[in-house]
Structure 1
Amino acid sequence: MDREKYVTEISDLFAEGKFEEAYARLEDMASARAEELRGPAEAGDSKALYSLGLLYQDGVGVKKDFPMAVSLYKKAAEAGNTEAMNHLGRLYGNKKNGMYDEKECFAWYLRSAEAGDPRGEFMAGSLYEAGFGVEADISKALEWYRKSAARNVTEAEIALGDCYVFGLGVEKDYETGRKWYEKAVSEGDLNGSWRLGELYREGWGVEKNDRKAATLFRKASDAGIANGQILLARMYKEGTGVKKNPEKAEALLRKAAKYGSEGAEAELEKL
């Protein structure tokens, strides 16, 4: 399949306003991609099996067929593809697709972790911490978090930060927790920013600084992170670290609630 040729043609059609033709060519490209993958998939190529499974799951270039997609993912996983293992973990952890099975979810993520996949390592850690599909074991959770964080998975870095800040499986150590949060933020994960903000708001291991806390909450809020929006809203509601502004507080909470934040909805009820 000449992908570059397809992309050029489709881009030109969109630029010319020929949208119907452009979408038809997109479908042609997807069909060509599916055909291109069939040979390698039949030969047992794990990447092709996984990629073809994605097409069947979404009905792109082929007729949508969820059972076929799952079958292809399992073949890919059995061939050692950790992306497929992680995908199966997600599917078994989803209550909406008829596959929900906590033990299977954990088993696939653990298999991925044991195969050395950094995402699988993080997920194995989080499931051990939560006791999801396996007996809760914070020591094993920490073991997997450390392996994943060593490979710059920011969610694992934040999870380690949480463990140190709250003393989960380790002695409480605000400084170490802060360093993990800062590392995650430096790598672009602003879920670490609102956590840092809480350290400054509470004075945990740092000098209490409401203004700095508000700035850190704002960074997370501007990135669309609900917890950042909720925490910044509280600052506006109380006039802490920022000038009191109930209207801004309400606007932030409504923004977070719009995307399903139960915490924001609860805060709105208090206004």
Structure 2
Amino acid sequence: MLRNLLIFVFVVFFSFSLIAEESTDSNADAEAAALIEKAQEGDPAACYQVGVMAMQSGMPDKAKEILERGASNGGCECMAALGQGYEKGMFGEVDFKKAFDYYQAAAGKDFGPAMLKLGNMYREGNGVAQDYKMAGRWSMKAAKAGVRQACINLGLHYMMGWGVEKNLPKAYAFYYIGGVESEPAKLQALQIWGELSVEERLKGEQFMMSWEEIFPPAGK
């Protein structure tokens, strides 16, 4: 209910429409209004939350406006959301240059998801020259920042030898770590495992253990 109410308050606040709708939950109403007020003041967290809701509600221009406000106040989530908006054409035409710039700004503040996006752009050659080494570097930074998806990307790099020396034990380890959140990655890890020698399996397990501080095994 709160999510729908927040969307309603956002529409009222920004469109100045004379919409009549009653709410029986005054606390939720007050919370929604407070969130909108924080977003108007440029609070990064509020700007991100309201900006995403605006996008989901079909108001990309308003979403961009408030996300830009949050980004100007240092909001990494807002920067990354703007990057994705431009990368996917959510604000109109696709603009890889603006997407890259926003991701880079957020990555400069050690925001892992933005590092992951930069790695993707370099690997796919979107808006920049395709560069597997740079893709691998940004994916590694993202993984060290705790982004599991980046481990899947690194697994691909080590399996294919993209920008790094091909290394199946490391590929196995990264796919296995990423497989916690991805069934396809888990299956890929098992497939690679079946191709490894006993010695290579040991190396893969040892390499995986070196990442336990960032990605603790289940139960730890």
Fold similarity call, TM over 0.5: yes
Normalising by the residue count of structure 1, what TM-score does the alignment of the two structures yield? 0.58
CA RMSD of aligned residues (A): 2.8
Alignment match of 2:196 (pick from 197, 205, 220): 205
For the 8 Å contact 2:48–2:78, the answer to whether it is kept is yes
Task: State the Cα distance separating 1:204 from its structure 2 match.
Answer: 3.5
* C-alpha separation in 2, matches of 1:54 and 1:191: 28
Equivalent position of 1:180 in the other structure: 174
Task: State the Cα distance separating 1:123 from its structure 2 match.
Answer: 0.9
Task: State the Cα distance separating 1:199 from its structure 2 match.
Answer: 2.2
Alignment match of 1:111 (pick from 67, 90, 105): 105
For the 8 Å contact 2:113–2:142, the answer to whether it is kept is yes
Equivalent position of 2:182 in the other structure: 189
Equivalent position of 1:38 in the other structure: 36
**Greater Rg, structure 1 or structure 2?**
1
Alignment match of 1:77 (pick from 71, 74, 78): 71
Mark the CA change 1:31 to 1:57 in structure 2 (over 3 Å): closer, same or farther: farther
Normalising by the residue count of structure 2, what TM-score does the alignment of the two structures yield? 0.71
Task: State the Cα distance separating 1:192 from its structure 2 match.
Answer: 1.4
Task: State the Cα distance separating 1:70 from its structure 2 match.
Answer: 0.7
SS of the residue aligned with 1:67? helix
For the 8 Å contact 1:104–1:133, the answer to whether it is kept is no
Deviates more, 1:144-153 or 1:190-199: 190-199
Mark the CA change 1:99 to 1:81 in structure 2 (over 3 Å): closer, same or farther: farther
Equivalent position of 1:223 in the other structure: none
Equivalent position of 2:9 in the other structure: none
Mark the CA change 1:95 to 1:110 in structure 2 (over 3 Å): closer, same or farther: same
For residues 160-187 of structure 1, the C-alpha deviation after alignment (integer angstroms, 9 at most, x for no partner) is 11111111111111111111111222x3
For the 8 Å contact 2:111–2:145, the answer to whether it is kept is no
Q: Which amino acid aligns with 2:36?
A: R
* C-alpha separation in 1, matches of 2:22 and 2:184: 40
* C-alpha separation in 2, matches of 1:168 and 1:127: 14
* C-alpha separation in 1, matches of 2:197 and 2:28: 54
Equivalent position of 1:141 in the other structure: 135
Question: Quick one: percent identity of the two aligned structures?
Answer: 26
1:88-99 aligned within 5 A: 88-95=82-89, 98-99=92-93
* C-alpha separation in 1, matches of 2:55 and 2:70: 14
Deviates more, 1:162-171 or 1:45-54: 45-54
- Pair 1:66 & 2:64 matched: no
Mark the CA change 1:191 to 1:110 in structure 2 (over 3 Å): closer, same or farther: farther
For the 8 Å contact 1:41–1:49, the answer to whether it is kept is yes
The unaligned stretches of length 5 or more in structure 2 are: 6-20, 199-220
Higher relative contact order (CA 8 A, sep 6+): 2
Q: How many residues in Structure 1 have an aligned counterpart in Structure 2?
A: 180
Equivalent position of 1:210 in the other structure: none
Mark the CA change 1:111 to 1:96 in structure 2 (over 3 Å): closer, same or farther: closer
SS of the residue aligned with 2:88? coil
* C-alpha separation in 2, matches of 1:120 and 1:183: 20
Alignment match of 2:164 (pick from 151, 162, 170): 170
For the 8 Å contact 2:86–2:98, the answer to whether it is kept is yes
For residues 113-156 of structure 1, the C-alpha deviation after alignment (integer angstroms, 9 at most, x for no partner) is 11111111111111111111111222221111111112331111
Mark the CA change 1:30 to 1:136 in structure 2 (over 3 Å): closer, same or farther: farther
The unaligned stretches of length 5 or more in structure 1 are: 7-22, 208-271
